[in-house]
Structure 1
Amino acid sequence: MPSCTSSLSAGTSSEPEPDAAVTLQPAEVYLRAGIPPGSEFRLVVEVSDSTLWRDKGQKAKLYAAAGVPEYWVVNLTGRTVIVHRRPVGDDYQSIVTYNENETISPEGAPEHTIALAEILPPIMDETL
């Protein structure tokens, strides 16, 4: 059963800690074996507010270079999800932005559809 883990090995000097991740093996395997390489991940998610520039740039390059097949950036202020797929070198060949009124499915589990309006925080009414 896939699991979530706290960090991944993205090279000799980098171990980013994604906000959420789905791996091939259960977490117990990585507790014994150590931090998994990027190839063990199916999906990595970063929730971004003030770090959007880094999550779309530096972290996207790290995850692509590590071989993470799918990387999502949840842009809280823009109320979008930026989906990166198909890594080649340190870039993703497909980058698509979905707005809060759309649904997306992970490539590794297309039968699971996520309504973005349900995962983004509610808009606060400032007139109250």
Structure 2
Amino acid sequence: MTAITEEQIRRRRFNLADYHRMGEAGILGDDDRVELIDGEIIEMTPIGSQHGGRVKRLVYLLTQAVAQHAIVAAQDPVILDDCSEPKPDLALLRPRVDFYTASHPRPADVLLLIEVADTSFQKDRQIKVPLYARHGIPETWIIDTEHQRVLRFAEPKDGAYQTEEEVDLSQPAPLPGLPGRTVDLAGLF
């Protein structure tokens, strides 16, 4: 028996228009936890109570930290290009009068994307972080619940983040694009 190579597998890639038509037609329902990544529809992990609780805590902390200087979005789509519309757990967005009702945010609107990783650490680290870097997202954090740490990725250049570091949870973390604004993550875990 001969092994099938990657070249022999034909994949059907989707763009944003295809993806949105599937939603409108009911092929992808409101209960389907999926996102479009590089033309593929990827199933997202279910949200457990630990994950949901950390997202809610982060929404609370970030909203207090940014006041009217930014918009905090939870589990909403961000359009990166015609083939990628991920749904990060949190996005810190530039203020916009319409609060993004006219269109989903795009890379130029994003200050920070955050992924909370209970069971999705490898996917977030290997797929989403590079995706965000390729699209020039200024900063991405992974909340690694297993190891009770926050990883910070910053300074995208040539499709990769130049800085990768663990956030010191004993100090308030500076928020990108918001000079003088910080968030205290000490009680996150």
TM-score, normalization: structure 1? 0.81
Q: Which has the higher strand share?
A: 1
Name the residue aligned to 1:18: 88
Provide the identity percentage: 26
Moved over 6 A (4+): none
Structure ID, larger Rg: 2
Determine the C-alpha separation between the residues in 2 that align with 1:62 and 1:24: 20
Structure with more contact order per residue of length (Cα contacts < 8 Å, sep ≥ 6): 1
CA 1:36–1:115 in structure 2 vs 1: closer, same or farther (change >3 Å)? closer
Per the alignment, in what secondary structure is the counterpart of residue 87 of structure 1? strand
Structure-to-structure mapping, 1:57-96, within 5 angstroms: 57-96=126-165
1:35 match: secondary structure: coil
| 2:79 paired residue among 3, 6, 9 | 9
CA RMSD of the aligned region, Å? 1.9
Distance 1:96 1:47, change over 3 A: same
1:105 matched to which residue of 2?
174
Unaligned runs of 5+ in 2: 1-68
Distance 1:27 1:64, change over 3 A: farther
- Give 1:18 shift: 0.9
Give CA-to-partner distance per residue, 1:52-85, whole Å, 9 cap, x none: 0111121011111221101111111111100010
CA deviations on 1:73-119 (whole Å, 9 max, x unpaired) are 1111111100010111321010111254444212323423333322x
Per-residue CA distance 1:30-72 (angstroms, 9 max, x = gap):
211x122112100111111100011112101111122110111
Question: What does residue 105 of structure 2 align with?
Answer: 36
Instruction: State how far apart, in whole Å, the 1-side matches of 2:184 and 2:175 are.
Output: 12
TM-score, normalised on structure 2?
0.57
Extract unaligned runs of 5+ from structure 1. Answer: 122-128
The one-letter code matched in structure 2 to 1:79 is Q
